[in-house]
Each structure stands twice: as C-alpha cells, then as structure tokens.
Amino acid sequence: MNTVPFSLRRVGLIAGVTLREALRQKLLHALVLIAAGLVLGVRGLRDFNFGVSELKFIADFGDGAIAGFGAALTIALTAQLFFSEIEHRTALTLLAKPVWGMEFIIGKFIGVVVVAVAFCGLLTATLAGVLWQRQLALQVDQPEAWAAVHAVHFGALWVAAYLHALKLALLAAGTLLAASFAQTQIFAVMAGGAGFVICHLQGLAQSAYERDGASLMTVPATLIHWLFPDFLRFTLAADGAWTWSGLAQVTVYAGAYVAVALALAVRSFREREV
C-alpha cells in the first residue's frame, strides 16, 4: 500500500458511490420532505408571531428548520453510510485493493457534505421563494404599513445557508471521527448529537463561568472551548450584517477543525479491525 500514491480520482469515486448511496436512503427523502413542508407551511403559523414582524418570523422559523433537520440528516447519514460499508464488508473489499484508508474517509466525508450542501441550498431556495412571495403580498395588501416592515435581506439569507453548510461539514467530520472507533452505529449517532449540543452551548458556558468567577470550571470550559468548535461563530448578527473578511475567518476556522477531525479519523480507522 505504501507504494501506491494517494489518488484524488479514487477519492472522487468513493465520494460518488457515497453520494449515490445517500440519495437512495429513505431517511434523506423523509427529512427533506418534512423540512420543506415546514418551510412552505410556515405562513400558516404567522398568527403565533408575538410582536416580531411576519417576515422575520418566517425567516427565523425557516432558518431553524434548516439548522435542526440539517444536523439530524448529517449525523444520521454519516453514521449510516459508514457502518453500512463495515456491515456489508464492502470496506474490507475496498481496502484490500490499492485504496488508502485516508481516501476512504475523505471520500465518505465529501459524499456526505455534498448532500448536506444540497440540502441547505434547496431549503434556502424554498425559504427565499416563500419570503419573496409574502413580501410582495404585504406590499400590495398593506401599503400603508409597509414602511414599518423590514424588507428581507436575501443576501444575508444565502450567507446564513453557507454558514449552516460549514456547521454541517464540521458535524460530518466529527461524526466520522466517532464512527471510526465506535463499535455500533447508535453510538456514533449519539456522539454526533452530543457534539452538536456541546458546540452550540460551550461558548455560552465559558462566558457564564468567566462572568460568575467560577474558577474551578474555567479550566475545563476552556479545554472544551478548544477541543470543540464554537457554533456561535457561525451566527449572523441580528441585523443580518456580514463581511467578506468575517466569512473568510470563519471558513478557515471551520476548515482547521475539519482537517484535524479527519486526520484523527484516518488514524483511528487504520487501527480498526474492519
């Protein structure tokens, strides 16, 4: 194996097979339909808007649906596709050929990320269509009140979709790392879910410990802060403001964590009995 050079072509082939397998999964179809149904049906929930403008309510609801269902899809799909290769012994067949473990892990990762990015793009386009239609309707039906309603920032909507895609890439890499040493699929899913919660709350927890002066908890909170990416970095400001430099920084931040997670996954997978 050491005499066989690393091949991007083999990575692409594994990614393509992973993508085709993902598109056959009923879980993918179910989550896409549910999420799209929620986004399309969010207008029916506008009566529950407690003082927030209707367009903002729709945008926030749709953004939450993309984040929640995207995370569930990425974690479950990554674990399922990885362990299907182990259980069906196709991973052993692949690795018996001139295929690196690194090529296998990276190919799996790319295949899942393509699905996650497509999910974010599809749901964001659906949300943008709902917002555009409702914005036009409000301009016609309530012209006198339109001045008090903020127009939708569609550029910020797509920036938010990009940030969601970065978070899903991090989740895919983290779940692959867990799957590389896990003995069961359910453990990998639970580890991915736990990582999702930690990544969302660890920044808030560290700030709370530092503010309250809990010195005993500051050290472990700082350690967790460095071990897990802070998903609060991937959140737009309330007014939807963003900058290209900010996007570049958060992209490098996410890329560094993905690279480390994949490197650890490759190392763990090499030592695994397939």
Least confident of 135-144, 145-154, 170-179, 201-210: 145-154
Q: Cβ distance 230 to 199 under 8 Å?
A: yes
pLDDT tens, position by position, 11-65: 898 899 888 888 888 878 888 888 888 887 776 665 554 444 777 888 888 899 9
Domain total in the chain: 1
Instruction: Report the distance separating Cα 243 and Cα 136, nearest Å.
Output: 28
Residue 2 belongs to a domain: no
In a domain, 24, yes or no: yes
pLDDT at residue number 251: 96
Query: Which structural domain, as residue segments, surrounds residue 120?
Result: 8-270
**Per mean pLDDT, which range of 52-56, 76-80, 235-239 is the poorest?**
52-56
* Rounded-to-integer distance, Cα 53 and Cα 26, Å: 36
**Burial classification of residue 169, based on how many CB atoms lie within 10 Å of its CB (0-12 exposed, 13-18 middle, 19 or more buried):** buried
In a domain, 260, yes or no: yes
pLDDT of residue 160: 93
For residue 28, is it within any domain?
A: yes
Q: Is residue 119 a part of any domain in this protein?
A: yes
Q: Is residue 78 part of a domain?
A: yes
Q: Alpha-carbon distance 145 to 157, whole Å?
A: 23
Q: What is the pLDDT of residues 99-110, one digit of tens each?
A: 788 888 999 999
3 occurs within a structural domain: no
Contacts of 55 by beta carbon, 8 Å cutoff, 6+ apart: 131, 134, 135, 138, 149, 150, 151, 152
- Give the residue with greater pLDDT, 85 vs 265: 265
Q: Answer for the pair 202, 225: CB distance below 8 angstroms, yes or no.
A: yes
pTM reported for the whole predicted model: 0.86
